[in-house]
Amino acid sequence: MQSQRATALVALSIFCSLTGRATSAGAATFQPSTGIVSLTPDATAFGFESDAELAQFSPIKRADLYTLKTAPLDAVVAEGEGIEGKNALRVGSAGGGLLFKDEAAFAKLAGRRVQVRFWAKAEGRAPTAEIVYRPTGKDPPLDGTTIPVASVRAIPTGRETSDGWVEYGIGPIDAQVLGRPIYGLFIVPEARVMEETKFAAEASERGGFLLDALEILPAEGTPQADVVCTDADVDATCGPVGACFAGKCVAGEALYGTPLSLAQRKEVVARALFILEKHQGDASAVARLPTYKAALDALVNETSSRRFYAGMIAALHTLRNMHTSSGRFPGATSLNPDVTYQTAGAPGACFGLVTRDVLGGGTGFAVFDTEKTSDLRRGDVLKTVDGQEAVAWVRAAFSKYSISTPGQTETDDAWAALAIGDLVTAHAATFTVDRCTDATCATHTEVTVKTGDRARAAAQSGAFASFVYTIPCDGRLSRIGELGSGPPEAELFSSLPKDATGTVRVQFDGFSNPGFPPDAEKAFPVDTPKYLVDARLGHGGKTVNMNAMVNMLIPKGTKPILMLLDRGNLAAVDDATLGCVGKDGFACLFSGADVVTADGTGVASRTSAKMAWLNGASVSANDIVPFVLKGRANTRIFSAVQTAGAFGGISFVGSVVPGRTMDSIQYEDGRAGADVASARVGSTVSGRGVAADVVVTQKLSDLLQGKDTAILAAQAWLAQVP
């Protein structure tokens, strides 16, 4: 049956919701002149003409997608509202959604390619729809302890009507991934960014959407063959459409989402360039935009989902800014190509950057910490990954799968070391290590570790979270407290009492702790002659906390000062911006500036104490504080690498790519000088990190003896007579 309503097909601009792949042959027909949709005869289709069709759906709330808790039905037939037939379904008025889990219907599509199409009209919120693949071993297969093998999110196809109906599509995708079938299709009201993350369990009830003409049907094409692959040979082995996960070819859409149409790729490229041209605050990144544009332009004709998204990341990396990142793939899924967690992963080990002083020299990556079940030992040195020399493999993989990169390539290794567990888990099958037999490494043996089978088995069983939520990696050989003993997002202080040399050792990971100022006061006791500050993992954080530490530890008048200016004030510093000194209130917010310099409130015993500061993978506020510490008397900075060089605030924006979440940019840059007058005409500083006063890399010989080279160097300097 067809509706008599008539609406016009309208085009989308790059400033509207981005459009998706054109509808494949066989999907519902749409007449632009009348706005009428007709269902495909051979599809599993729902026109929602009566309540009877709802019997095939289970009610679910967004917060319970992967727990499958029962929920009140939040869907009613909306008479006279359909784009296909007479009626539609009104979903999500109270925040609920639907799960279609007719496994028999999906089983009929086994061994084939599949696509999903539906039409929706937002009534407060647009829909979010995902196909999820069933893990083994449990029924129901999702109960809060397991996650889907893979998920693919719906994106707009590019067809919409002038009165708000939009067509969405998933695929074509394989009916099976890693041998596991499709479990079901979730359709729920979209979440806002904060609900997607911290407040998912409290998703507010702000309206839902109309749903109509839902179809699940076969698509053209051959499913991906189950073939052994490596990250280096993925094009030749898996083909342009396929991807390589843990040593086996899988359908690229399972990792990278539904491929985009030519029109959509053009829009994505145009919008990405527009955002960075108009809003990027890092002056060094702005200077690199011509290279970025050329890399983007080359992607317009790239039809492979994997190649397109990989190309977007590669283009972004030409800007070399740690605050400027590509959006993450949403949802809980085993098959995620991005470096996200910095954990021990399938190897069960955290690696660190070392100098191979007793193993032939040069730079390498060695095991710092292990889980109890790991095949590795502290001091094992990564030798090869899937047959490729290890350092080259890690650097190449980091450049492909990290969502952002620091300002200098020589700093990459510090960040890549933290990501080795994640990189190997998703993108390798086998690696080898050199294992020294003693502290001198006079002899060593090669040990082979196979992670691919374990990673794929974990993904198939839904237990992949046991890999990605393992011990966090922080780049430290020694630390205060147990590794991962506290919530990493809290970035709490740890400290040791004053030792016999008069030194207090302090450890923290950034400036986001909401209780930062009072906690810092406790961590840095007064009347202490020496501080050893271990900030080797520095996430950055809040300006108010950064300024609190500057005021606490640095005497007034210390040079240089750093002026942080947003994009609008960067070219011509307005006098009105100069009064915001050491604050974090509305004056700073609306002036678009913050002058980072000590305000003179610090206790003299703190501001004059001898201080060794350890950097590592350090960014943002962990760039800025070491920068101004450079001028503090009686201070040395110890590190193997420069900081990331991202001097400014980070802003999250909606992803330019459909089906992803949260891109980010840096909206400020810094100018430095001896005072405000010289800083306002000084050069911008982003893109160049803070260099160490003492360059120190963990020695393998020390590692084999359990000695932390950086801590030893800092203690030796602190012990020197001033």
Bridge partners of 651?
665
Q: Is a pLDDT exceeding 90 seen at residue 364?
A: yes
Summarize pLDDT for 538-553 with one digit per residue, the tens.
999 998 899 999 999 9
Task: State which H helix or E strand residue 248 sits in.
Answer: strand 248-251
The alpha-carbon radius of gyration of the chain (Å, integer) is 27
**Domain spans in the chain, listed from the N-terminal domain onward:** 29-222, 488-558+597-648+686-719
The helix, strand and coil proportions of the chain, stated in percent and rounded to the nearest 5, come to 25, 30, 45
179-188, 322-331, 350-359, 667-676: segment of lowest average pLDDT: 322-331
**Tokens (6 digits) for 88:** 């539609």
Predicted pLDDT at 14: 25
pLDDT at residue 682, as a whole number = 86
Please check the confidence at residue 719 and state whether its pLDDT lies above 70. Answer: yes
**Mean of pLDDT over the chain:** 87
Pick the CATH number of 488-558+597-648+686-719 from 3.40.50.1860, 1.10.10.60, 3.40.50.2020, 3.90.226.10: 3.90.226.10
Predicted confidence (pLDDT) at residue 477 exceeds the cutoff of 60 = yes
Q: What would the pLDDT profile of 504-544 be if each residue is shown by its tens digit?
A: 999 999 999 888 999 999 999 999 999 999 999 999 999 88
Residue type, 249: C
Query: What is the residue type of 477?
Result: L
pLDDT in tens, 195-232: 444 444 444 456 899 999 999 989 999 999 999 999 99
Confidence (pTM):
0.90
Structure tokens belonging to residue 639: 């590190």
User: What local confidence, expressed as pLDDT, does residue 681 receive?
Assistant: 82
Predicted pLDDT of residue 6: 35
CB 715 within 8 A of CB 381: no
Sign of the dihedral defined by the CA atoms of residues 296, 298, 303, 307, in that order: negative
Q: How confident is the model at residue 492 (pLDDT cuts 50, 70, 90)?
A: confident
Domain 29-222, what architecture? Sandwich (2.60)
pLDDT greater than 80 at residue 648? yes
Q: How far apart are CA 253 and CA 384, in angstroms?
A: 29
Q: What's the pLDDT band for 24 if we cut at 50, 70, 90?
A: very low
pLDDT exceeds 70 at position 235: yes
Distance CA 505, CA 692 (A): 19
**DSSP 3-state assignment of 278?**
helix
Q: What is the percentage of the chain residues whose pLDDT exceeds 70?
A: 86
- Other residues' Cβ atoms within 10 Å of the Cβ of residue 327: 22
pLDDT-derived band at 72 (thresholds 50, 70, 90) equals confident
Spell out the residues 6+ positions from residue 301 whose beta carbon is closer than 8 angstroms to its own: 262, 265
